[in-house]
Structure 1
Amino acid sequence: MPPVGRTGPVSGAATGGTGPGEQDPGPEAATGGPAVSVQPPIVAVVGPTGTGKSDLAIALALELGGEVINADALQFYRGMDIGTAKIPPEERRGVPHHLLDILDIREEASVAAYQAEARQAIDAVRARGRVPVLVGGSGLYVRAVLDRLEFPGTDPALRERLEAELAAGGSAALRVRLAAVDPVSAARIADDRRLVRALEVAELTGRPFSSFMPDRQYYAPAVQIGLAVNPDELQTRLAERVHTMVRSGLLEEVRSLDARGLRDGRTASRALGYSQFLSVLDGTLSESAAIEDTVTATRQFAKRQRTWFRGDPRVQWLPWRAPDLIDRALLLARGSGPLS
């Protein structure tokens, strides 16, 4: 299995599976033969950080005979445990977990490679007669697994040339060029990194970058369960969560990872909490300021996550503290529909 950190041209095109709510009746249906058993859907537990997704995923896996597949991009990294709220092995209640601790902190995560690995994990779980339970708040990674979404690959030499043009002349000329070949992306893209990527894809494939954006069509039957929480209540919970991480040794975790090359990791070094506490180690930020900055950044991140998942009408939301949360989630997972 290729590592998620590889960023080479991995195809994300789905070659099978039915759309939302559809079931493949099998080849014997047309001839009146015996019905082919239909596999249960992929169960995805999604929503903002700090809402208890991991606990619900474990509970569902225990009830459904399932295994958990991680869709939190930062939990790919070995050693990033406290600051990512990674469930330790002794608290997983015997449920197998996949795609945790698969990257070194110096590697960069790739959505395309993750898609391939996650779908391989799903196939393997199903081959064992078990139910795949996907869990995480990294919206694009969730969609990469669930939806018909293809990735156009990369060309390092082409990207290097575009980045050199950006460094030499700024973004204005590149934006004009992008507008000529992909006006949709030109209107949407604000940051230079995605600007370079859009031009790279256009030159590499002859297609606009916007044509690779996913539509809301599952590559295989799936159920998405979202955990809903009042924004004010979540803000309080996230502040408490950061303070708990600090008491649990976040600074020491960052110190240990720093010695292993954390600053060399383009993704890991920018993670919430880790970037702030690297500044504490450098003496440029006090611990109290780092805590406050982490709380603020985490709240902003949770707001973006909520907006992302609320934009998908297929997500079925349940109150995160409902006393019958597991029962209601099981009804959804088994296709019985939401409770009123």
Structure 2
Amino acid sequence: MKNRVIAVVGPTAAGKSDLGVALARALGGEVINADSMQLYRGMDIGTAKLTPDERQGVPHHLLDIWDVTQAANVADYQRLARAEIDRLHAAGRVPVLVGGSGLYVRAAIDPLEFPGTDPAVRARLEAELELRGPGALHARLAALDPAAAQLILPSNGRRIVRALEVVEITGRPFTASLPESGAAESVYDTVQIGVDVPRPVLDERIVRRVDRMWAAGLVDEVRALEAAGLREGRTASRALGYQQVLASFAGACTDEEARAETARATRRFARRQDSWFRRDGRVHWLTAQGAELTGRALTLLEEAVTA
């Protein structure tokens, strides 16, 4: 396992976090978070962040590092994640990268380069987004970079703005900065393990998870974060659950409607996550639960060492 990275990926509620802990305990490793929303301080219940007890003594890195008012920056994450990987390798520990944010996983392990930003261009595009809505900007992106438009939902204004910004400041398609999915080249010797859960089972898990979040106090968590500036956070305010609860605070829906919409939106998001990782032929998919899943993953890793 020396100088290897293990990445545990897949859709939300599949069981990635528990498998990551189990593998780290078995292999003398430590977990590096690759969930973009778990980077934020205070966003605990709604992101299903493991509690200290659930981490079972395994050190976890890149949790709670950003304030909710800070916009997500995958280039910053790339720098931080690789620093943690290199530090763990130097210490003889196994980095276990765990999360369902596909671009963040690839930023850590693949040779992605992220173009800079231009504040003036970004401000102009964001003002246009506010005025015209994401649909009009998505149509423009489809004309300039059809491949990027296929990857980005027409409702995802933040990503549409970023793609248009890259096109404008580089003169190249946004997708030119992304290597082909499943490219063999990687920065590290990496084994990616995908946690595969049948869709009906996953949908049921998501509903139960959302119910647990409400019972655990998600509404109170969002209220506290709202006082800390959550509404001003371009990224954090759009997180699943948080966005819906904020809408209920504003009177746009009831609390029960917010809960139901969180479950629906999370199911849609899980399908997009699954599609993203399925495009990468390097991911080894495992269907099991609990100790059986851990055993299969360890067998896979042993086979990868001798291959």
Q: Give the TM-score taking structure 2 as reference length.
A: 0.88
Match of 1:293 in 2: 261
Gaps of 5+ in 2: none
**1 CA distance for matches of 2:30 and 2:291?**
24
The answer to whether the Cα contact below 8 Å between 1:67 and 1:96 also exists between their aligned partners in 2 is yes
**Alignment partner of 1:57 is 2:57:** no
**Pairing of 1:101-180 with structure 2 (within 5 A):** 101-163=64-126, 179=143
Letter in 2 for 1:99: L
Gaps of 5+ in 1: 1-37
Pair 1:77–1:39, CA change in 2 (3 A): same
Match of 2:63 in 1: 100
Q: Report the Cα offset of residue 169 of structure 1.
A: 8.4
The answer to whether the Cα contact below 8 Å between 2:141 and 2:148 also exists between their aligned partners in 1 is no
**1 CA distance for matches of 2:4 and 2:188?**
7
Match of 2:225 in 1: 257
Q: Report the Cα offset of residue 137 of structure 1.
A: 0.5
Pair 1:97–1:186, CA change in 2 (3 A): closer
2:100 counterpart SS class: coil
From 166, 178, 183, the equivalent of 1:201 is 166
Match of 2:271 in 1: 303
1:83 counterpart SS class: coil
**1 CA distance for matches of 2:259 and 2:146?**
41
2:107 counterpart SS class: helix
The answer to whether the Cα contact below 8 Å between 1:72 and 1:136 also exists between their aligned partners in 2 is yes
Match of 1:281 in 2: 249
The answer to whether the Cα contact below 8 Å between 1:228 and 1:318 also exists between their aligned partners in 2 is yes
**1 CA distance for matches of 2:141 and 2:274?**
34
2:64 counterpart SS class: coil
**Alignment partner of 1:231 is 2:199:** yes
Q: Deviations over 1:106-150 (max 9, x none)?
A: 111111110111001100111111000000001111111111111
Q: Report the Cα offset of residue 187 of structure 1.
A: 7.0
**2 CA distance for matches of 1:329 and 1:177?**
40
**Alignment partner of 1:321 is 2:289:** yes
**2 CA distance for matches of 1:239 and 1:318?**
23
Pair 1:287–1:118, CA change in 2 (3 A): same
The answer to whether the Cα contact below 8 Å between 2:191 and 2:301 also exists between their aligned partners in 1 is yes
Identity of aligned residues (%): 56
**2 CA distance for matches of 1:245 and 1:94?**
24
**2 CA distance for matches of 1:173 and 1:51?**
34
1:75 counterpart SS class: coil
Pair 1:239–1:198, CA change in 2 (3 A): closer
Letter in 1 for 2:258: A
Q: Report the Cα offset of residue 322 of structure 1.
A: 6.3
**2 CA distance for matches of 1:91 and 1:309?**
26
Letter in 2 for 1:260: A
Letter in 2 for 1:104: D
Letter in 2 for 1:255: R
**1 CA distance for matches of 2:2 and 2:262?**
42
Q: Give the TM-score taking structure 1 as reference length.
A: 0.80
**2 CA distance for matches of 1:183 and 1:213?**
14
Letter in 2 for 1:61: A
Q: Report the Cα offset of residue 173 of structure 1.
A: 9.8
Letter in 2 for 1:197: R
**2 CA distance for matches of 1:110 and 1:87?**
23
Pair 1:223–1:244, CA change in 2 (3 A): same
1:324 counterpart SS class: helix
Q: Report the Cα offset of residue 336 of structure 1.
A: 3.9
Deviates more, 1:199-208 or 1:83-92: 199-208
**Alignment partner of 1:214 is 2:183:** no
Match of 2:212 in 1: 244
**2 CA distance for matches of 1:255 and 1:286?**
15
The answer to whether the Cα contact below 8 Å between 2:141 and 2:160 also exists between their aligned partners in 1 is no
**1 CA distance for matches of 2:52 and 2:246?**
27
The answer to whether the Cα contact below 8 Å between 2:137 and 2:160 also exists between their aligned partners in 1 is no
1:89 counterpart SS class: coil
From 28, 31, 36, the equivalent of 1:68 is 31
2:261 counterpart SS class: helix
Pair 1:120–1:289, CA change in 2 (3 A): same
1:63 counterpart SS class: helix
